[in-house]
Structure 1
Amino acid sequence: MEKHDVTAAIILAAGDGTRMRSETPKVLHPFAGKTFLNRVMDAMNGVNPKKLAVVVHAQAERVAAAAVSYNENVHIVNQDETPGTGRAVQCAIKDLNEIAKNETGEALKGAVLIAASDMPLLDTQTLQSLVDFHNNNNNVATVLTAVLDDATGYGRIVREANGDVLRIVEHKDANAGELAIHEVNTSVYVFDATVLCDAIADLNSQNAQGEFYLTDALEHARKFGHVGAMSAPDPLTVEGVNNRVQLAALAKAHNKRVCEKWMLEGVTILDPDTTWIEDSVTLAQDVTVLPGCFLQARTTVASGAVVGPYTTLIDAQIDEDAVVERSRVQESHICRAANIGPWTYLRAGNVLGEESKAGAFVEMKKAHIG
């Protein structure tokens, strides 16, 4: 029988995301080749939950359709008009309990993993570490935290002397002493399912925002056992995005790491500050990437190839010793020692044979040369 450390994983994707100032839902904005929601769903799926649920409300049909396109087995939960993360989880647990009772005759049992959908760098390794920490310490609830130099806007973690979590105080509700705390809530949690059901039943909206806070459930959970906290090993993995300034800063920080990774594996990147490489790209040793390049989707570049300057590759296959200069190549295959550019536009379906040439100001589609 397949083992499940997590009985249910719940992704909170119901918010308006108004600070993005966009017609596109915040969770559907792209980040390094995938949307926020797609990336968080992939991370949650990596811990092998028995059930995966996404809670939607704002632009519900659009977000739900995207979620199903990423994973056809996802369960969509519709949050009603009552606001707050606590209400989102109440709606999810109601649906998931009904599913569990229909399948097993019993309500949910085991660990429930909950995460916000606006952390595009959240990864499976961090989530699995949190689940393991929760189980190994016999906690009834565990929150993933981060220690930040600037904690503005984040809920603060208030601990007891023994290290247990006493409560989480949202920024707008915190006093001066609590605002001085630098350990913050990341909006990632693990709860015992039975404890979670009891804890969310007691939630209310008596706070500055007038919302049902999921964070209040941690204080209620203390009645049933230990509430612990694990600090994320890499704060970047749990950094949320609320506006486009934060999106740009996080994307730049992530892209710097991607470039450094490839340089350490033997790729020459002349100017990492102007080179953008998506996570799904594959580069071989001794590839050279010149300034101003965008490498996207499932692009592969073989050893000895030179890309750039000012070149965009999308789903392109570049073979050994090829040169692609000041060009755009999409869904095309550039064979060994071919020379492309400058100012060449290769649309989908081209194959340029070994040592072939596509010169300046050429546009091709579904062409086979050489």
Structure 2
Amino acid sequence: MYNCAIILAAGEGKRMKSSTPKVLHKVCGKEMVNVVIDVIKNAGIKDINVVVGRGADKVKEATEVNGVFYALQDKQLGTGHAVMCAREFLTGKQGTVAIFTGDAPLITKETIEKLTLFHREGMYKATLLTSIVDNPSGYGRVIRGNNEDVVKIVEHKDCTEQELKINEINSGMYCFDIEHLLKSLDRLDNNNAQGEYYLTDVIGILKSDGEKIGALPIPFEETMGVNSRAQLADAEKVMRKRINLKHMENGVTLIDPDNTYIDIDVEIGNDTIIYPGNVISGKTIIEEGCTIYPNSRIENSLIGKGVNIQNSVILQSKVGEGTSVGPFAYIRPESVIGKSARIGDFVEIKKSVIGDKTKVSHLTYIGDAEVGSGCNFGCGTVVVNYDGKKKHKTIIGDNAFIGCNVNLVAPVKINNDTYIAAGSTILEEVPEGALAIARAKQVNKEGWVEKKGLKK
């Protein structure tokens, strides 16, 4: 049976008070509409049309990587009108179309699979996703008949006293038989106070034609729409709990899940321990057996097996197996740290390669450099990579020993097995096996303090 999907993503989102289209606000690091697209695809539906409106160009730019189709709703005239705008996408198709909203990112793969199966096995022409809630005030009520099929949907303001007691509400997500939906759209009108076309009216049209309408109750949290910053925070909290639970079920220890912030696309290996206060974002991969101590930020990076990280920032970089980082280290984008290396406190690495077993223990800056394996950097070393106009490269071979308070002025090459004396400023290539000393000869002026009258 052919399945496709439509995502309604044209809403203005005035309550967000933002220049960003509502569906592009992020939940756990990913735009809400992209979360919905991913879930639909994971449920096996690949043919997806996104109905765009406000900020259409921005929404297209953010979602085009997903290979979806688009329909434009230039005027927001209701959910029925939005689906009308996708008529070309549906024309000629036979089977089922599932309709979701781009501002409801908590729907799950399992629910979508269950919805399409329920719809098909029940031979329904339309199926609603519904929720049972304690306080249904303000929501449209789902009225069922004696056979449990849906009779109608009644908006709260139109409910009778008896209907107000019903606590099954419409979520605004559906499955339709495509051919019956297209025929019903031709019969929709906007004869209401808002002058809009409502998708819920299709249910009434199908029912009047004697067609079967089904309803599948799901947890209310999956149907939660985001229309304000407060609701965005609520959705973030639910999604973060799901993400953290998934990692713990996969063998990751989270010391305090309520205070650990992991984005939706992050991958973490088993036997990794993560302490509270960490923010792990983007497409970061943390391999098995790592320990991430409190208050680090890791973004779009690859962390190898058995790495220890303490209170540090790692951005768009790679850290090799068995390496330790921090505390208070800053690894900037496009850096590659080798295996069993040491990046210590108050060390900054910028767009550099650091070899295996190299130690950069404290108070050092390395920028635009290639550093070999087995090197040791003394405290206060600076790779001077910027001349005021351009960045230049420094190359350091294997087993180099860099003394304290050394300046390596790029472009410069330090060959294998070299020693750089403390306090040196190196401007020229250092040959293999050499000791480089580049500092002024010490001069002691005897009696100078007394002569100057400075003796206390």
CA distance in 2, matches of 1:338, 1:76: 46
Identical aligned residues as a percent:
37
Q: Give the superposition deviation at 1:175.
A: 4.7
CA distance in 2, matches of 1:53, 1:219: 25
Per-residue CA shift, 1:155-196, capped at 9, x if unaligned?
221212221112222345445543432211122111112211
CA distance in 1, matches of 2:206, 2:298: 51
SS of 1:230's equivalent? strand
SS of 2:86's equivalent? helix
Question: Which of the numbers 338, 344, 356 marks the counterpart of 1:353?
Answer: 338
Task: State the one-letter code of the partner of 1:40.
Answer: V
Larger radius of gyration: 2
SS of 2:23's equivalent? helix
Question: Which of the numbers 179, 193, 197 marks the counterpart of 2:182?
Answer: 197
| 2:79 equivalent to 1:85 | yes
CA distance in 2, matches of 1:129, 1:203: 29
**Is the CA contact (8 Å cut-off) linking 2:27 and 2:235 kept in structure 1?**
no
Question: Which of the numbers 252, 272, 280 marks the counterpart of 2:265?
Answer: 280
CA distance in 2, matches of 1:318, 1:54: 35
Partner of 1:327: 312
Task: State the one-letter code of the partner of 2:6.
Answer: I
SS of 1:286's equivalent? coil
CA distance in 1, matches of 2:249, 2:108: 22
SS of 1:167's equivalent? strand
CA distance in 2, matches of 1:176, 1:347: 63
Greater Cα shift, 158-167 or 298-307? 298-307
SS of 1:191's equivalent? strand
Cα-Cα RMSD? 2.1
SS of 2:112's equivalent? helix
Greater Cα shift, 28-37 or 264-273? 264-273
Q: Give the superposition deviation at 1:214.
A: 0.3
Where does structure 2 lack aligned partners over 5 or more consecutive residues?
Answer: 359-456
Where in structure 2 are the equivalents of 1:207-246 lying within 5 Å?
Answer: 207-222=192-207, 223-232=209-218, 234-246=219-231
Structure 1 pair 66–331 and aligned structure 2 pair: CA distance change class (3 A): closer
Per-residue CA shift, 1:82-141, capped at 9, x if unaligned?
510011111212x225xx4xxxxxx43221221111111223332121111111111111
Question: Which of the numbers 83, 89, 93 marks the counterpart of 1:96?
Answer: 89
| 2:299 equivalent to 1:314 | yes
Task: State the one-letter code of the partner of 2:2.
Answer: D
Q: Give the superposition deviation at 1:81.
A: 2.4
Q: Give the superposition deviation at 1:65.
A: 2.9
Using CA pairs below 8 Å that are at least 6 residues apart, which structure has the higher relative contact order? 1
Partner of 2:19: 23
Task: State the one-letter code of the partner of 2:106.
Answer: L
Greater Cα shift, 148-157 or 360-369? 148-157
Structure 1 pair 251–150 and aligned structure 2 pair: CA distance change class (3 A): farther
Structure 1 pair 302–193 and aligned structure 2 pair: CA distance change class (3 A): closer
More helix by share: 1
Structure 1 pair 264–108 and aligned structure 2 pair: CA distance change class (3 A): closer
Structure 1 pair 261–40 and aligned structure 2 pair: CA distance change class (3 A): closer
Q: TM-score, normalised by structure 2?
A: 0.73
Q: TM-score, normalised by structure 1?
A: 0.88
Task: State the one-letter code of the partner of 2:225.
Answer: G
**Is the CA contact (8 Å cut-off) linking 1:195 and 1:224 kept in structure 2?**
no
SS of 1:126's equivalent? helix
CA distance in 2, matches of 1:170, 1:29: 29
SS of 2:346's equivalent? coil
CA distance in 1, matches of 2:164, 2:56: 34
Task: State the one-letter code of the partner of 2:34.
Answer: N
SS of 1:62's equivalent? helix
| 2:26 equivalent to 1:33 | no
Structure 1 pair 25–152 and aligned structure 2 pair: CA distance change class (3 A): farther
Task: State the one-letter code of the partner of 2:27.
Answer: F
Where in structure 2 are the equivalents of 1:138-177 lying within 5 Å?
Answer: 138-177=123-162
SS of 1:361's equivalent? strand
Task: State the one-letter code of the partner of 2:41.
Answer: N
Task: State the one-letter code of the partner of 2:89.
Answer: L
